Amino acid sequence: METSSSSLDCIQSLVNEIKKQVFSTQNSRDLVAPSPYDTAWLAMIPDPSNPDRPLFQSCLDWVLDNQNEQGFWGDYNGEDGIPTIDALPATLACLVALKKWNVGEDKISKGLVCFHANLNLVLTENTGRLPRWFTVVFPAMIDLAQATGLPLKFLNQPADILLSKLFLKRKQMFEREKLVDEWGNYSPTFAYLECFPSEILGDQEKIYEHLCRDDGSFFRSPSATAHLFMTTANAKSLKYLNSLVQNYPNGVPARYPVDEELIKLCVIDHIQRLGLSEHFSQEIAETLSQIYRNQQKAAELPHNMTTLAEKLHEDSLAFRLLRMHGFHMNPRKLSWFLKHEDIVGHLEENHEYFTSVLYNVYRATDLMFLGENELEEARSFSRKLLQKSLALKDGDDNLSVFPELLNLIERELSVPWMARMDHLDNRLWIENKFNPLSWIGKDSYYRLSCLQNEKLLQLAVKNFEFRQSTYRDELEELKRWSKEKGLVDIGFGREKTMYTYFAVATSTSLPHDSIIRLIVAKAAIVITVADDFFDMEGSLPDLQLLNDAVQRWDGENLRGPSKVIFDALEDLVTKIATRYYIQHGSKITAELRDIWRETFGSWMRESTWSQTGYRPTMEQYLETGMVSIAADTVLLPAACFLTPRLPTEKMKPAFYEDATKLLMTCTRLLNDIQSYQKEKEVGKINYVLLHLKEHPEGHIEDSIAYVKDMVDKMRKQFLEQVLMTTDDDDNYNMPKSCNLFHLSCFKVFQMFFNSYNLFDSKADLRQEIMKAFYIPFEQDLQQPSNPLITVIKPLPVLPPLERSSEGAKVSASLGPATLKHKNKVAISFIRKQVPSNCSLGFYSPKPCSPAKLKSCFI
């Protein structure tokens, strides 16, 4: 049984190793993994002075030294060692190189056996989703292998049929597609020069005119340039190839030159999406600061379409990462390409080849501020083309995009970033079998060698599962507290212990020993129960008694639910104030009580309006509603425990920052958009309904659209407030840590009220909660081929939840048959006990027994 201390030690050890591997690397080219396909093509080149020997012996040596145990070159999927689809042409290219120089006969034999054994399986598994590059490259490699004398045998009928279809589709593609578009730009397909039949190329002299003038490469492709040099002996191409091998003596990359700044951005983006940025915060900050200084130089347009993908990819990653870290980024750094008709036309004509790039452009526009119309245009443009790529997903045509990337894009377009929880996004990224950080290359995509080391994935998994154990402990304590305070059995309303903790835990990356999660969750539980008491249970006199008690902060004369609510509130406030005094030596009891007084006062006002039939103006309602949503009540007391912490004066409404006011207003409106129908039925006031009342000539859809537009504008203002104000801003007294905490809180409300009122659902978050807290990874980290292709298996499909007759518990009907297979790992894993960190009596260490899995929804 691994203890909390040993888990932390293991995590820190992995962090130290990765820092040495990644951030201590002086040259970013060391982070790029070799491409077996391109290295093999260079190994095929004969020495002009002695055609009986290779020009680049080091490339041939690399091929000889890097055959996998299974017999192929390239990556494989999972513990079964089945080659990935890109390993098939790479293996053929390597076999051709060995055959050409009559070396490695044992490796050739082993490679052929592996190729024939896996061909049918790999092609069958990818039927209907073969990438377009594969349609071009693989038939060409078969032709080349047979011409070289390799004994390829296709005796298996399914493989023979699939190959026949592949050759036919390649022929149709060449007949149908143009190499040059209407703007005079060559199609991205043209980069596969080494795979084109000579009759397709036509005037070769004209093709050679399109060599890169700077370095003599053909589309910066080592394999295409190698083929061109073998055909023409072009001196510039030879210079390019010599430079390539000199810089990469141990296997060449799929593209050269390598954009070192883009590589650094890819590494940072990948680390963040794995949920590991907290471990590398200083290194990330230093790297981004240097990149920002470079970004201040005048932007240069790509010399030709060859570098368009890299530039757009780099610009989009830089824009998102730098803006997210508080750097001022001009929108034109991202949207510049829209001003160039030929670039826009080229992207539209070849959108499927730029899907990975457009995905990152779209993600960058998540951080759009109010008035940045050019970013609106970039978002609309990229979304339109991404939707076109998604339309190819189920079509008959071959894809230029990996299906795993299309799945990510589908989720990106359907669930906005502001409505997604970081913890679950991290899990999805860890589980993902394709890494869209890198653009499409020749035989598949660029790989970062540091990410091929199992240490990074191992760290991500251990970090995630350590957080899971922490969250389970805290959740058990939270459930115990709710039970002890009588909030679970109060007899009415919504019991949201699980939902509230899920929201705070998955939306933030607070330190594992932080008490903030429990402060927020307990406050949210009290708010939910009290709000329901005001909305549906208490009479006006009962509500007035409770409100008066809170204003006096004296619950002596309260009875029944009012007494339960007040006692739970007093317990929470007292413990928060005590902990704050112990940590910081000052008192905040008065501030804590005042913020709750404001909240209860707003509930009282709204209940009075509803029960007396008074209709406030839209302005009056919003002034009260932004308080009654209680976002500030949940957020600000907890923010006093951040590092650096919120100044206590910022807990007073008169001193609220704009970010806090925008958060309060937006969260109220988000709630009202999704709850107007229910509130109309029970006679409650709602901003959407008030707008309709004041505009009787309109329809409810018009009022909804009006409020959504308000939220959209204020959301953009809010993002600018929380991202662009820094700890060094003399006119802004809220630390950056508090700004980001505001952002996490906003995302929680956006998640709950994105498409419907998810917070009021009984069990719609069941599967997400199981993934966040209970279901472990199934993994084999002993011999991963590439952490970009993880070995994590699909999550079990859990049975539906049922609500008990008492209405107090929701349980999962997990019978022995269900647990036997899919949930066996989950059940065994949650038996582990991870000691908790006690603070304020908020929680105590408890093991999570198998029975807890059945009763995790109480």
782 Cβ neighbours under 8 A, 6+ residues apart: none
Please tell me the least confidently modeled range out of 390-394, 514-518, 730-734.
730-734
637 and 647 Cβ atoms separated by less than 8 Å: no
Given a cut of 70, is residue 229 above it in pLDDT?
Answer: yes
Q: Taking 70 as the threshold, does the pLDDT of residue 395 lie above it?
A: no
Q: Evaluate if residue 193 carries a pLDDT over 90.
A: no
Tokens standing for residue 338: 């829209």
Secondary structure of 457-480 in HEC code, one letter for each residue: HHHHHHHHHHHHHHHHHHHHHHHH
pTM, two decimal places: 0.87
How does pLDDT run across 791-806, given as a tens digit for each residue? Answer: 222 333 333 333 333 3
Over 90: is that where the pLDDT of 6 sits?
no
Cα(306)–Cα(774) distance, integer angstroms: 47
Q: Is the pLDDT of residue 590 over 70?
A: yes
Contact 571, 485 (CB under 8 A): yes
How far apart (Å, rounded) are the C-alpha atoms in residues 688 and 701? 10
End-to-end C-alpha distance for the chain, whole angstroms: 28
Cβ neighbours of residue 279 under 8 Å, at least 6 residues apart?
11, 15, 459, 463
Looking at residue 344, its amino acid is V
Share of the chain above pLDDT 70, in %: 81
* CA–CA separation, 591 and 653 (whole Å): 10
pLDDT at position 292 is 95
Prior bond of 257 cis (ω within 30°): yes
d(CA 389, CA 406): 8
pLDDT tens column, 446-462? 566 644 567 888 899 99
Q: What residues contact residue 831 under an 8 Å CB cut-off, 6+ apart? A: 847, 848, 849, 850
Where does residue 624 rank: exposed (0-12), middle (13-18), buried (19+ CB within 10 A)? buried
Which position has the higher pLDDT, 372 or 538? Answer: 372
Q: What is the pLDDT of residues 518-548, one digit of tens each?
A: 999 999 999 999 999 999 899 999 999 999 9
Q: Work out the angle at residue 163's Cα, subtended by the Cα atoms of residues 162 and 166, and round it to the nearest 5 degrees.
A: 90
DSSP code for 33? P
Q: How confident is the model at residue 848 (pLDDT cuts 50, 70, 90)?
A: very low
Q: How far is CA 148 from CA 62, 592, 623, in A?
A: 20, 80, 79
Q: Give the tens place of pLDDT for each residue, 44-103.
A: 999 999 999 999 999 999 999 999 999 999 887 655 678 888 899 999 999 999 999 999
